[in-house]
Amino acid sequence: MLSIRGLHAGVEGKEILRGIDLEVRAGEVHAVMGPNGSGKSTLAQVLAGHPAFAVTQGEVTYEGRNLLEMPPEERAREGLFLAFQYPVEIPGVANAQFLKAAVNEIRAHRGLEELDAMEFLDLLKEKFALVEMDPSFMSRAVNEGFSGGEKKRNEILQMALLEPRLAILDETDSGLDIDALRIVAGGINRLRRPDNAIILVTHYQRMLDYITPDRVHVLSGGRIVKSGGKALALTLEAKGYDWLEEKVEVSAEESAKVSAKVSAKVSAKVSAKVSE
């Protein structure tokens, strides 16, 4: 479904991704982990087509097409979905109005008729129940004044409405308390199908307690430094990212300083958590 080869990308002349290779097939769940600054969110944004990032090398094929040539809205219409780490607030636009516009754009692209107001409301109620969101969030302005957890639920709600083929969830677990995490993860699990795929971008493995990945990748210094099964996530939880980053220092000297700084912070956090 998605094939990334030798992807280099950056922002304002600063290279962040330094050669990513990743294969995702239908029905799979991939976890992309790594410390802050490793390029996880950049990878997610580049795949969704954020104009601030420039791809300098490599290729990305999605469903047999060159993804990098598609504008962001076409990627979305073709079934690619990014759940934002920081969902954007849109004052003055009711959540339901926004969701209806998105659903109808994507339905139109799939050759389906627009939903009328009643049909859309029924669909909306069903999906609100899935992510256990209060219906009052239909009429509130998009993400405006939502708590962190409410914003994340609103992202999963959109995923449920838009039924993507490939969903990229960018740190959807961050900022969630344990109840919200359970609800969000439950929603995601119910959206798993044999014909779609999910990339979970996450810092911690706790989301993987709820969603079992088929593959786990560790991103560091803009490259995937290790891939494995679910066990890898548990190893990371126990040992932090340090033991992997030493390898990076050998293979990519120029990135060592940055990642070493970052990893010091991260490992401190992780070890603090482990010792709790």
Partner 1 sequence: MTAGTTKETFVSAFRALEAGGNLGGPPWLRDLRWKAIARFAERGLPTPRDEEWKYTSIAPIAAVQFDLEAAGGAEGADDGLTEEAIAPFCVSPAWSRLVLVDGRYSAKLSAIRPLSRARIESLAEALIIDAEMLRPHLIRSAPAEATDAFAALNAAFWRDGALIHLPAGARVAEPIHLLFIATAAGPARIDHPRSLVVLERESRATLIESYITLAGDAPRLTNATTDIVVGPGAELDRYTLQLEDESAFHVGRVHVRQARESRVESCAVTFGGRLVRNEVRARLEAETAACTLNGLFVIGGRQHVDTHTVVDHVAPGATSRQLYKGILDGRARGVFSGRVIVRPGANGTDAHQTNKNLLLSDEVEVDSKPQLEIFADDVKCSHGAADGQLAADAVFYLKSRGLDEEAARTLLTFGFANEVLARIRVEPLRARLETLLTARLRGGRVANGEPREPAGLGLRHPESP
* Geometric angle at alpha carbon 8, from 232 and 62, rounded to 5°: 75
Q: Which of 21, 59, 63, 105 binds partner 1 (CB under 8 A)?
A: 105
Q: What is the full DSSP assignment across 222-237? A: TEEEEEESHHHHHHHH
User: What tokens appear for 120 in the block?
Assistant: 């859309």
Q: Which of 21, 36, 50, 55 binds partner 1 (CB under 8 A)?
A: 50
Closer residue to partner 1 (CB): 155 or 245: 155
Minimum distance from residue 219 beta carbon to partner 1 (Å) = 21
Asked if 89 contacts 142 with a C-beta cutoff of 8 angstroms, the reply is yes
* Torsion angles phi and psi, residue 133, rounded to 5: -100, 145
Q: Which of 4, 133, 162, 167 binds partner 1 (CB under 8 A)?
A: 162
What does the alpha-carbon distance between residue 27 and residue 25 come to, in Å, rounded to a whole number? 6
Which of the residues 69 through 98 are near partner 1 (CB under 8 A)?
71-73, 75-77, 81-82, 84, 87-88, 90-93, 97-98
Minimum distance from residue 74 beta carbon to partner 1 (Å) = 9
Cross-strand pairs, 261: none
Site string for partner 1, 133-152 (x = CB under 8 A): --------x-----------
The verdict on 106 binding partner 1 (CB under 8 A) reads yes
Closer residue to partner 1 (CB): 10 or 49: 49
Q: What is the full DSSP assignment across 243-261? A: HHHHHHHHH-HHHHHHHHH
DSSP 8-state assignment for residue 85: S
Residues in the chain: 276
Binding site for partner 1 (CB under 8 A): 48-52, 71-73, 75-77, 81-82, 84, 87-88, 90-93, 97-98, 101-102, 105-106, 109, 141, 158, 162
